Chain A
Amino acid sequence: GQQLNQSPQSMFIQEGEDVSMNCTSSSIFNTWLWYKQDPGEGPVLLIALYKAGELTSNGRLTAQFGITRKDSFLNISASIPSDVGIYFCAGQETSGSRLTFGEGTQLTVNP
């Protein structure tokens, strides 16, 4: 089945620094999604990407859908303490099909 490799597993950064994380897949996805999960909560959708090469921003967050359709990255600029949480990438083969999740990146921001 589909596998998503997400890296890094964890990051410890200082407030104000930029952050980058990425996901790679063994096969093609037609949609890439990035979620953030706070402790004891469900994931919240941050950015959705629908076209290969697409670059989309949401405030301080920027994500790109890789040209090969097998990868995606998420950047967070000028991190703040409330950025702390677990970030998951998720891929979807076709519209409406199941999501395959990456293993998550635990982000810690030191004030």
Chain B
Amino acid sequence: GAVVSQHPSWVICKSGTSVKIECRSLDFQATTMFWYRQFPKQSLMLMATSNEGSKATYEQGVEKDKFLINHASLTLSTLTVTSAHPEDSSFYICSARAGGYEQYFGPGTRLTVT
């Protein structure tokens, strides 16, 4: 149980284009989903917290107009990187929480912006 999937697992896009990443909880309903970014050899940095049906809460320094988050259902959240630039290249990981303490992580999405 508690499986979280992400799609795509990797994506290459050109600078200036937008990319959408999906995060799904496969066998449970996620009241809250989290989006993290991880640069090589670094820890996970929380970008935003999203609750189903409401606006996401962004961490300080994360541009909400650049990283659009939608949590339209209890099993799906999407992160759209708008007008991507090479510095946005990173490993993006989502996690989902059903209601308890534990967060279950997706396998991550490797974004490369050329």
Contacts and interface: CB of A to CB of B under 8 A. Distances in A.
B43 A40 contact: no
Given A33-B102, A45-B102, A92-B101, A99 B46 contact: yes
Given A40-B108, A42-B106, A42-B108, A95 B101 contact: yes
Contact of B102 (A48, A88, A98, A101): A48
Interface residues of A, number: 21
Chain B interface residue bracket vs A? 20 to 34
A40 B110 contact: yes
B49 interface: yes
B105 A42 contact: yes
A64 B6 CA distance: 32
Contacts, number: 52
Of the candidates B4, B42, B107, B110, the one having the most CB atoms from chain A within 10 angstroms of its own CB is B107
Interface string B5-39: 01000000000000000000000000010100000
A15 interface: no
B101 A50 contact: yes
11 contacts: A40-B110, A42-B6, A42-B105, A42-B107, A44-B105, A45-B102, A48-B101, A88-B43, A95-B100, A98-B49, A103-B43
Q: 7 closest Cβ contacts across the A-B interface?
A: A42-B105, A101-B43, A42-B108, A43-B105, A42-B107, A42-B93, A101-B44
Interface of A: 31, 33, 35, 40-45, 48, 50, 88, 92, 95-96, 98-99, 101-104
